[in-house]
Chains A and B, each alone.
Chain A
Amino acid sequence: MPSLISAEIQQLQDAPVLGRDVPVANQSGAKYALADGRKWVWKRKLAIGAHGMLAEALGWLWSRALALPVPDVAVYLPGEFTEDCWLSEVVDDVRHWSADRVPVENLEQLGGILALDVILMNADRHEGNILLQPRIEQEREVWRLWGIDMGNSKVGVVDEFLEMENSLPSIAKLPDDLPFEILRDPALEAAKEIAAWGGPFITKSVNEACSVAGSQDSTVLVDALKKRSAAGVALVERYFDKLLETT
């Protein structure tokens, strides 16, 4: 059972100092930024919308509850749409997913990330949202995988999400060189873990995410996510069946 302690997303007191643009296409005006002595990727609420903030926040809270590899996050919320922002800590030295980088020491955790994508309806898991970080472990070169950017998950667009019921996210953007056959079991394990969470954690995480995003939809979203989580294992099974048929 994940933590029920409130407010896991760090709220910054001071405005971030903005740097250069993140040099990757389609990043919603993302910039590098410094805040609290740390390095971040900054996205303005004005650019990603309240739905983007909600999806990012919920995606991060659930990722952390599953102990998935996602960077630390923070928000700066002075209360103005133009100033409110979402920050994701910079992961040093990263490149994007490519199957030729081996070994990936935590590859199986990508299964959990995909399970979360299924349940929260994130169809945006392209190669740029799977980071690989080089590491030297006991004099051996390895890569560590990180998942980023849940901002386009349909869970953030609550009205649409309520209508999705048992829909699956599109697989069109997934890198076709992912080894889906070895990610299926870890994905199903993650889905089972989510199904076992129960109401208190879902309620608490949705409340926190809605608070960060300034959304009033927490009650209906809690109900929808309880149903979606309960159906999660079946959804993930169908998703992987589709992936393994297609690739």
Chain B
Amino acid sequence: MSGHYKIIHFLPDHFSGERIPVGAVVAENGSVNVVLADRTPGPECLGSDATYMLLRDTLDELRQLTSLERLPMSIGPHFEMSEASDLPALDGDAVSWLRQRILPRAMEKPSSSRKRGPSRSSVGLDYLRQFNVARYVKQFRPKKDLHELNGASESLPAISQGVRGANQLLLMEPVIPTRRQLDKDLKTIGTNFFAYRGAFQTHPIDTDVDLIAYVTPGGNASIRSEIVARLGESADRVYDVTAMSARKDLVNLVATIGKSGDDLLT
């Protein structure tokens, strides 16, 4: 026996008694790991899109757990951890054992109707909407939106958000710390920003372009710091919006540049 684990249950309704195992936290040899079930119920099974949304979004958050003690308060009352159980003697690793032997497993033929969470772009736009600056933001398609480069823009990738000002252009990528594909997101953003840097070195333009990443709330501090560090070279600026000063700077920047673009049109 080398460790122990707790099962995380989802309680869709406090009155039906239903408890659905959706993951586990395992402490073994001094480290803590989270394993999520390969199979969790969909909206049809839960009987509500809203209930499914709660489950799906919280699963992303559970992935960040670093302690077996208790669930973070923000998780709310629909999730509970079981009492700790001892791990049995295992040939393989505990995470695989929990996934394959304890938690609900995936169907052999996955359902084709699996719903995906919101895109990075839409989460970022929703965030900016709360600060009343989303109206300045548009999805940025270089072929259509970067006329300054003429034909040279065709090979450039799309950017999630662009803000066009009088003589300034903000190219912005939101980063969602709790996304399952965070590592891939960071690689994509870094690569895309470097592509723009290269294009502007080869074909300088008069417009002042800022490559901006902003880290939306969520995740733990170490992940947020890592995001800022990893994008530090490719982006001109990286805002961690959990700090009010950074949030204000970002919102003011978008508003100022966006408004200058509006003024140009009127």
Chain A residues in the interface with B (C-beta under 8 A) = 19-20, 22-25, 32, 34, 39, 90, 92-104, 107, 126-128, 131-136, 141, 177, 179-182, 244, 247
Interface status of B151 (Cβ within 8 A of chain A): no
Given that A134-B50, A134-B53 are contacting pairs, would A102 and B74 also be in contact in the complex, using a CB cutoff of 8 Å? no
Given that A103-B129, A127-B74 are contacting pairs, would A135 and B218 also be in contact in the complex, using a CB cutoff of 8 Å? no
* In the complex, chain A residues whose CB is within 8 Å of the CB of B219: 100
* In the complex, chain A residues whose CB is within 8 Å of the CB of B242: 99, 177
Interface residues on B, range: 35 or more
Complex Cα–Cα for A8 and B217 (A): 39
Complex Cα–Cα for A244 and B49 (A): 37
* In the complex, chain B residues whose CB is within 8 Å of the CB of A90: 14
Closest A residue, CB atoms, query B14: A32
* In the complex, chain B residues whose CB is within 8 Å of the CB of A134: 50-51, 53-54, 57
* In the complex, chain B residues whose CB is within 8 Å of the CB of A94: 54, 76-78
> Given A96, A133, A181, A244, which contacts B75 in the complex, CB threshold below 8 Å?
A96
Complex Cα–Cα for A98 and B54 (A): 13
Complex Cα–Cα for A180 and B132 (A): 14
> Given B57, B61, B74, B80, which contacts A23 in the complex, CB threshold below 8 Å?
B80
Complex Cα–Cα for A182 and B241 (A): 14
Given that A94-B78, A134-B50 are contacting pairs, would A99 and B217 also be in contact in the complex, using a CB cutoff of 8 Å? yes
* Most chain B CB neighbours (cut-off 10 Å) among A102, A136, A179, A180: A102
Asked if A247 contacts B244 (CB within 8 A), the reply is yes
Interface status of B264 (Cβ within 8 A of chain A): no
* In the complex, chain A residues whose CB is within 8 Å of the CB of B57: 101, 134
* Most chain B CB neighbours (cut-off 10 Å) among A19, A103, A132: A103
Could you give, for residues 175-215 of chain B, a 1 whenever the CB lies within 8 Å of some chain A CB and a 0 otherwise? 01110000000000000000000000000000000000000
Interface status of B97 (Cβ within 8 A of chain A): no
Closest B residue, CB atoms, query A135: B50
Could you give, for residues 53-75 of chain B, a 1 whenever the CB lies within 8 Å of some chain A CB and a 0 otherwise? 11001100100000000000111
> Given B12, B74, B130, B131, which contacts A95 in the complex, CB threshold below 8 Å?
B74
> Given A98, A136, A247, which contacts B49 in the complex, CB threshold below 8 Å?
A136
Question: How distant is B177 from chain A, measured CB to nearest CB, in Å?
Answer: 8
Interface status of B126 (Cβ within 8 A of chain A): yes
Given that A34-B15, A134-B57, A179-B130 are contacting pairs, would A23 and B77 also be in contact in the complex, using a CB cutoff of 8 Å? yes
